[in-house]
Amino acid sequence: MKIVVIGGSGLIGSKLVNNLRALGNEVIAASPASGVNTITGEGLAEVLAGAQVVVDVANSPSFEDKAVLEFFQTSGRNLLAAEEKAGVKHHVALSVVGTDRLAESGYFRGKIAQEKLIRESKVPYTIVHSTQFFEFLGGIAQSGTDGKTVHLSPAFVQPIASDDVAAAMADFTVGAPINGVVEIAGPERVRLSELVQRYLSKTNDPRTVVADMHARYFGAELKDDTLVPGDNPRIGKLGFDAWFALPKAPR
DSSP secondary structure letter of residue 236: P
149-152 and 53-56 strand pairing = unpaired
What are the φ/ψ torsions at residue 110 (nearest 5 degrees)? -65, -45
Which string of DSSP letters, residue by residue, matches 156-189?
EE--B-HHHHHHHHHHHHHS---SEEEEEE-S--
Question: pLDDT value at position 248?
Answer: 79
Asked if residues 36 and 60 have their Cβ atoms less than 8 Å apart, the reply is: no
Question: pLDDT value at position 251?
Answer: 60
- Written as tens digits, the pLDDT of the chain (251 aa) is 999 999 999 999 999 999 999 999 999 999 999 999 999 999 999 999 999 999 999 999 888 889 999 999 999 999 999 999 999 999 999 999 999 999 999 999 999 999 999 999 999 999 999 999 999 999 999 999 999 999 999 999 999 999 999 999 999 999 999 999 999 999 999 999 999 999 999 999 999 999 999 999 988 999 999 999 999 999 999 999 999 999 877 66
Nearby residues of 248 by Cβ (< 8 Å), 6 or more positions away: none
Asked if residues 122 and 86 have their Cβ atoms less than 8 Å apart, the reply is: no
Cα separation, 159 vs 98, whole angstroms: 13
Nearby residues of 58 by Cβ (< 8 Å), 6 or more positions away: 6, 7, 10, 13, 31, 38, 75
Question: pLDDT value at position 97?
Answer: 97
- Buried (b) or exposed (e) across 188-222, using 16+ Cβ within 10 A? bebbbbebbbebbeeeebebebeebeebbbbebbb
Q: Which residues pair with 56 in a beta bridge?
A: 6, 93
Question: pLDDT value at position 77?
Answer: 98
Amino acid at 165: V
Asked if residues 95 and 53 have their Cβ atoms less than 8 Å apart, the reply is: no
Entry pTM: 0.94
> Which three-class secondary structure state does DSSP give residue 240?
helix
> Which three-class secondary structure state does DSSP give residue 72?
helix
Sort 9 into a burial class: Cβ within 10 Å, 0-12 / 13-18 / 19+: middle
